[in-house]
A and B are shown apart, each in its own frame.
Chain A
Amino acid sequence: MDMLITFFSENLLMIYVLLLAVFLGFEVISKVPTVLHTPLMSGANAISGVVIIGAILLIRQAESTDYLALTLGFIGIILGMINVVGGHAVTNRMLEMFKKKPAK
């Protein structure tokens, strides 16, 4: 228990950031037209690929003989990158369709 408390006091700033980000997320999204629900979900999904940063850090920290870290990190980067690149590309494809309208 003590260690949990130490963890919290040591990461106090992080926890503030976390709380503020929660509310920021709520506020940013709260008024969205239904039309944009799918692209928004897809865009947010791409952003959740930010977990790839962890995979990159992990593999950079690994010794070149640490095969578990290298293998899982390698797979992690591939999966994360598919999420990021594919997510943004698919979102862009959806939104491209909306764009044609005003031009017409």
Chain B
Amino acid sequence: MEFNQILEQIVNLGYLVGVLLFIIGLRQLSSPSTARRGNLIAAAGMGIAILVTLIVPMDKGADNYILILVALAIGTAIGLIASKRVAMTAMPQLVSLFNGLGGACAVAISVVELNDYQAAFEANGAGAIASGVHLTTLLAMFVGAVAFTGSLVAYGKLQGLIDDRKVRIPAPTYVNLFLLVVIIAGIVFKLVAPVNPFFWVMIVMGIALVYGITFVIPIGGADMPVVISLLNAFTGVAAALAGIVYGNQVMLVGGILVGSSGTILTVLMCEAMNRSLLNVIIGGFGSTGAAAAGSGDQVAREITVNDAAILLRYSNSVIMVPGYGMAVAQAQKVAHELEEVLEGMGVSVKYAIHPVAGRMPGHMNVLLAEADVPYPKLLDLDDANQALADTDVVIVIGANDVVNPAALDDPSSSIYGMPILEVLKAKNTIVMKRSMNPGYAGIQNPLFFKEKNRMLFGDAKKTLQDLVAEVKSLE
């Protein structure tokens, strides 16, 4: 007994330290100079929380330490290998996948708990388990299930396994509303009459899993960052709910921290696109996008690599606008090379980073940082738009929607109102693209047909390499 009390105190202290480290870690993660340390601090908090959980005094059970250690080892190995192997460009989908697994974990433990409750209900009647606990567990299962399948769909979309344009649900808003009602009805039904068969719990779980899929399927690929952030908040909430079930503070506080910070992050991302969260979820980007009429008969003019090199060499200032195309082509290092060559010839080169360029906010910053591009060379939206007026040449590398002038002047466009990089302020623009296909939002870009603009078709990396060679030969 004595010994158990000591253990209990150690556990409580450990959880307290764990929670504190989570908070400090998150705080430091939100500032560039301390971010890396913040991540390590949060990881340390998690380590402590897991360790003390192994010594929590139990009044029942067989501890099953071997099983736990084996599972911890397997999880650690898979996690480490996956995070080491993944290419920087595939980072967003990996984060989504990890998040889904957290959700699945919440589902797994909720199902076991609910199964235990069921035994108690059947043995001792409806009063055996407090309905508050019952409800919380059902909710944890529901939220976890949505986070699980939703994240998998987001992963599939970003990985290119699920094609937005092909996989569609008719009237998704109504389907989702219907499923939501069924889930809530199922939960209420089980709650009012807990002795109802366990089958109902399975039904609720099954529909929640389906709901996760139908919730994310209608949302366009361009909005996946917002969705991942939202689903991340869901997993946090599921963890917090499970924390209430277990009376475990570290789960509660950790989960809620993620839930609320994830929500705020989601809202910040929506703001960056000038859209509301509801609009993202219900809107279904691209479904209205076909309305870009009148551009069909226009002609986009091409430019040769040679001419582009000359244009760049004899300009004073150049701004590069990277987008997802650069990420896909892994062209960030060559872009940096071009920048250095031009700088060596007295041309000022900067990068304009749109907050939602790529598949995640900050995606471009990460990639360019990987290529050793100096930090001060990256301009954010406002600074870039000011600098663009004094720029001779803008090179758009695989970006599309974030430079689409339709956002400024075409109220019928689905991205109307989104702040963009106003590249038309510059004297010339060169758009590097693989083809004339529209961008991820599925809408046509009038920029391509402007007098100032020239198209440079081809794979971003290959074209940039050719450009570097051409510019060098001009010396």
Binding site for B on A (CB under 8 A): 3-4, 6-8, 11, 14, 17-18, 21-26, 28-64, 68-70, 72-101, 104
| B330 within 8 A of partner (CB) | no
Residues of A within 8 A of B349 (CB): none
* Cβ-closest 4 pairs across A and B: A81-B75, A7-B132, A25-B260, A86-B79
Known: A43-B29, A73-B109, A78-B78. A24 touches B366 (CB 8 A): no
Q: What would be 30 A-B contacts, judged by CB atoms less than 8 Å apart? A: A14-B252, A25-B26, A25-B260, A26-B260, A34-B361, A37-B355, A39-B29, A40-B261, A41-B262, A42-B91, A42-B95, A44-B257, A51-B235, A54-B239, A58-B109, A61-B58, A61-B60, A62-B112, A63-B60, A68-B115, A69-B112, A69-B116, A70-B67, A73-B67, A75-B108, A79-B75, A82-B78, A85-B83, A90-B98, A92-B36
Known: A38-B91, A46-B43, A50-B254. A81 touches B374 (CB 8 A): no
| B218 within 8 A of partner (CB) | no
| B175 within 8 A of partner (CB) | no
Known: A21-B253, A41-B262, A44-B232. A81 touches B372 (CB 8 A): no
Known: A57-B248, A77-B75. A49 touches B108 (CB 8 A): no
User: Interface stretch among B49-57, B199-207, B340-348?
Assistant: B49-57
Residues of A within 8 A of B7 (CB): none
- Smallest distance from the beta carbon of A70 to chain B beta carbons, Å? 6
| B130 within 8 A of partner (CB) | yes
Contact for A48 among B88, B111, B133, B235, CB less than 8 A? B235
Alpha-carbon distance A49/B197, docked complex (angstroms): 31
Give chain B's interface secondary structure class. Answer: helix
Residues of B within 8 A of A60 (CB): 54, 56, 58, 61, 63-64, 68
Residues of A within 8 A of B60 (CB): 61, 63
Binding site for A on B (CB under 8 A): 22-23, 25-27, 29-32, 35-36, 38-40, 42-43, 46, 49-50, 53-54, 56, 58, 60-64, 67-68, 70-72, 74-76, 78-80, 82-84, 86, 88, 91-92, 94-95, 98-99, 101-102, 104-106, 108-109, 111-113, 115-116, 127, 130-133, 135, 144, 228-229, 232, 235-236, 238-240, 242-265, 268-269, 272, 353, 355, 360-363, 365-366, 369-370, 372, 374-375, 378, 380
Alpha-carbon distance A14/B248, docked complex (angstroms): 9
By the criterion CB–CB under 8 Å, are A90 and B91 in contact?
yes
By the criterion CB–CB under 8 Å, are B92 and A48 in contact?
no
Residues of A within 8 A of B245 (CB): 54
Residues of A within 8 A of B374 (CB): 101, 104
Known: A69-B112, A90-B94. A47 touches B132 (CB 8 A): no
Residues of A within 8 A of B91 (CB): 38, 42, 90, 94
Residues of B within 8 A of A104 (CB): 372, 374
Nearest residue, chain B, Cβ from A95: B36
Residues of B within 8 A of A77 (CB): 68, 71-72, 75, 105
Known: A6-B130, A22-B256, A79-B101. A51 touches B238 (CB 8 A): yes
Residues of A within 8 A of B258 (CB): 25, 44-45, 47-48, 50
